[in-house]
């Protein structure tokens, strides 16, 4: 299907003003097919502040942030760009998003990533409840971003359109997280800076499958294969050799500093789809692990078969940092999908359901 072009600008609310939200405000403001009409914040100190100030634009937009959910729903926006933190409140956030589409507002969200794909992770009755809420409100919900998201759903599936035979698809994030500002994720979920015998939630059996399994299952669905259950998990954690500092957490020597993990989908015992993360808190750590060909962060797609193919996606912001641009590409993947999601059928929609999404209208003017 071709891309969706709205007849008039769509009215958009940005939900959050943090690491993703501030970039989403700027992105919606710059998009010719969208109109910013509201901003939600969880922080009382930000209530009443202008969105332009919160986004660091150096100018006012005439939109004041609010902590009042119902005030924003009453605006009857076409879509909410939801960038609030969901990793530490997965089921509460599902309830929030379900309530928004039940109230008739389409939503594109960066999480929870468990909703990236419909099948195999959440109970069917939970997906049915989201779909029913969408039917009641006539609204759609789409969860995506860069990873999980474009780098390991649309990009690899488009690459496989060149294949004659596919033996194995591997999607990887290889990144230095030292400039990634997300203390809850870095310390509490990953366990960076914690003793090696600490037990962060992410490394408990089954949690990786919950978080990244939807990526593996979506790729398998796109390729038309049925995976063995359960998915396989592999984790290799390494300590810091010297004291290391990041913007989110201090990593003393001997504490956890780097991790390499995989979630693997097999068919009749043969690995067919693999998601891998190689995450460091300093680019010099564990030199024998995979590294980006350029810079300190990349997404890599490898397709084994006939022919053999490899693509490496790198990005960085104007200041040179890949973690800043990681927030930008996450926000923009959602923003640019707004017209397609507004036009989609009600309920939960995935990357497999949407037409072509591009950066239409964003070419810079002189």
Count CB neighbours of 227 within 10 A.
20
CA distances, 99 to each of 135, 263, 350 (Å): 12, 31, 19
Chunked into runs of 10 residues, the chain (366 residues) has average pLDDT values of 82 96 97 97 96 97 98 98 92 97 98 92 95 98 96 96 97 96 93 97 95 96 96 98 97 98 98 98 97 94 97 88 90 97 98 91 78
What is the structure's pLDDT at 84?
94
Side by side, which strands form the sheet with 270-280?
232-239, 256-267, 270-280, 165-176, 297-306, 309-313
What is the structure's pLDDT at 250?
98
What is the structure's pLDDT at 365?
75
What is the structure's pLDDT at 2?
65
Single out the residue of 358, 359, 352 nearest to residue 149, CA to CA.
Answer: 352
- Tell me phi and psi for residue 286, to 5 degrees: 45, 70
What is the structure's pLDDT at 321?
83
282-336 pLDDT tens trace: 999 999 999 999 988 999 999 999 999 999 999 888 877 888 899 999 999 999 9
């Amino acid at each position: 299907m071709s891309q969706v072009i709205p007849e008039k600008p769509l009215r958009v609310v940005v939900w959050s003003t943090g690491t993703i939200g501030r970039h989403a405000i700027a992105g919606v403001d710059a998009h010719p097919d969208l109109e910013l009409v509201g901003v939600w914040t969880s922080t009382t100190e930000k209530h009443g502040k202008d969105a332009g100030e919160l986004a660091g634009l150096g100018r006012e937009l005439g939109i004041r942030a609010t902590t009042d959910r119902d005030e924003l729903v009453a605006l009857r926006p076409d879509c909410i760009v939801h960038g609030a933190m969901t990793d530490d409140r997965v089921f509460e956030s599902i309830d929030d998003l379900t309530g928004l589409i039940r109230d008739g507002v389409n939503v594109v969200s960066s999480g929870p990533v468990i909703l990236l794909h419909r099948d195999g992770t959440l109970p069917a009755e939970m997906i049915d409840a989201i779909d029913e809420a969408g039917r009641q409100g006539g609204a759609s919900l789409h969860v995506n971003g860069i990873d999980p998201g474009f780098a390991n759903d649309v990009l690899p599936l488009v690459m496989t359109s060149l294949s004659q035979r596919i033996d194995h698809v591997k999607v990887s994030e290889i990144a230095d997280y030292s400039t990634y500002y997300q203390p809850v994720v870095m310390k509490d979920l990953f366990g960076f800076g914690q003793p090696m015998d600490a037990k962060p939630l992410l490394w408990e059996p089954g949690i990786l499958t919950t978080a990244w399994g939807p990526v593996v299952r979506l790729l398998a669905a796109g390729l038309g294969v049925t995976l063995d259950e359960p998915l396989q998990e592999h984790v290799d954690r390494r300590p810091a050799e010297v004291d290391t500092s990041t913007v989110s957490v201090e990593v003393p020597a001997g504490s956890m500093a780097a991790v390499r993990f995989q979630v693997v989908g097999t068919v009749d015992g043969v690995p067919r789809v693999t998601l891998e993360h190689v995450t460091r808190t300093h680019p010099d750590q564990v030199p024998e692990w995979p590294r980006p060909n350029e810079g300190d962060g990349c997404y890599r797609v490898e397709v084994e078969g006939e022919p053999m193919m490899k693509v490496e996606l790198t990005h960085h912001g104007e200041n040179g940092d890949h973690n800043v641009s990681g927030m930008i590409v996450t926000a923009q993947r959602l923003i640019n999908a707004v017209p397609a999601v507004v036009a989609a059928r009600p309920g939960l929609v995935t990357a497999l359901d949407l037409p072509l999404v591009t950066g239409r209208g964003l070419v810079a003017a002189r």
